[in-house]
Structure 1
Amino acid sequence: MSEGVEWALHSCLNLAWAESGTAVTATKLAAFYGLPAAYLNKQLQALARAGIVTSTSGPRGGFRLAKALKDITLMDVVVAIEGPDAAFRCQQILRSGPDADPTADYRTACVIAQAMSRADLAWRRELAAQTLADIRATVESRSPDTPELTRNRLAAR
């Protein structure tokens, strides 16, 4: 998984803590963690295409959440950034093994591919079961000052 997923998840939380109704530029969001703004902007654009954030151009432009955090799952963000494909892709190397049938579709018969598919499904279910509201609640319970500190830092730049 690319670092863009982590960046996108943190950016969504920061947008939630930003001043209500205020658009935040990719530059401000990137500066928050010392990230390259151009690369973070690509992640934010992917979130916009997925309907997770909205993008407004112009002097007061930037990004805002398009949905409530309770309506954004971790899986939504992963799919927006990484795409919908499974993490494991069976390359059917069994076709090249001893006594192999070169015409067989080993993706369905391969025990390793089956195990990886089950693991991928469990991972996706877990990510789909957690919303950004859940993450926000945990962060705020552990660090109650985070929303205000984030708002102040985003407003100061």
Structure 2
Amino acid sequence: MKLSEGVEAAIHCTATLASVDGNSTMPGAALAEAFGLSPSYLLKHLNQLTAARILESLPGPAGGYRLARAAEQITLLDVVLAIEGREPAFRCSEIRQRGPVKIGASAYVKPCGINAAMLKAERAYRAALAEVRISDIVAEYAAEGDPRSYAASCAFVERHQRPQKSASSKQI
């Protein structure tokens, strides 16, 4: 199975946004810069994450993206499904019922064994992704990643995050 590059970008962006302070945001252009991606390419995936309620998008000059819920509540499966869709990777089209060796439909009452095996593998794959939370990825990176890389990532987030005013601090 091959996942799109968009899945990798979406997971990295989600993990990066887990490091943004409080209600602050980070512009999509900064996220694209962080990973050497085209802003227009990344925007498509950020929009998919926003539609899936993984991210929030705040408009305006001080706007940007932030997590829509705590990193502990976002799994790798959530991100993969937001980008790739909910359909299984393998879709049986019953090719066994085509071609010169096909016989009557009554011979195909039992589900295709190949389809059953592939769907079983899909369930295992999705279960494994559902066990890993974005917070786990961030904690592992902080604990086991190269300290130089971790420090550079933290500095990048610090430079590019945009603090948001809370409703209670707005002047009337």
* TM-score normalised by L of structure 2: 0.82
Partner of 2:53: 51
Unpaired runs of at least 5, structure 2: 161-172
Paired position in structure 2 for 1:61: 63
2:85 corresponds to which of 63, 66, 83: 83
Residue 36 of structure 1 corresponds to which residue in structure 2?
38
Aligned-residue offset at 1:68: 0.8
SS in 2 for 1:24: coil
Say if 2:18 and 2:135, in contact at 8 Å, map to a contact too: no
Offset at residue 40 of structure 1 (A): 0.7
- Which structure has the larger Rg? 2
> What displacement does 1:16 show?
1.3
Compare 95-104 and 113-122 and name the one that shifted more: 95-104
Cα root mean square deviation, aligned? 2.2
Query: Gaps spanning 5+ residues in structure 1: where?
Result: none
1:65-95 residue CA offsets vs partner (Å, 9 max, x unmatched): 1111110011000111111000001111101
Distance 2:156 2:98 in 1: 57
Q: How big is the shift at 1:141?
A: 1.0
What whole-Å deviation, never above 9, does each CA across 1:81-136 have from its counterpart, x for those lacking one?
Answer: 11100000111110114542464695962111111010001001111111111111
Does the Cα contact within 8 Å between 2:19 and 2:157 map onto a contact in 1?
no
Tell me by how many angstroms 1:155 deviates. 4.2
1:20-51 CA-partner distances (Å, limit 9, x unpaired): 43211110000001101111111111111111
Q: Which of the residues 135, 138, 152 maps onto 2:137? A: 135
Task: Name the residue aligned to 1:21.
Answer: 23
Instruction: Quote the offset at 1:152 in angstroms.
Output: 1.7
Tell me whether 1:3 sits opposite 2:21 in the alignment. no
Name the count of aligned residue pairs: 157
Provide the rounded CA distance (Å) in 1 between the counterparts of 2:98 and 2:5: 34
- State, as a whole percentage, how many aligned pairs show the same letter: 38
Which residue of structure 2 lines up, in the alignment, with residue 153 of structure 1? 156
Secondary structure of 1:109's partner?
coil
* Alpha-carbon distance in 1 for matches of 2:65, 2:124: 32
Between Structure 1 and Structure 2, the one with more helix by share is: 1
Cα offset for 1:147? 5.3
Matched, 1:95 2:97: yes
The structural deviation recorded for 1:139 is 1.0
Between stretches 9-18 and 89-98, larger displacement belongs to: 89-98
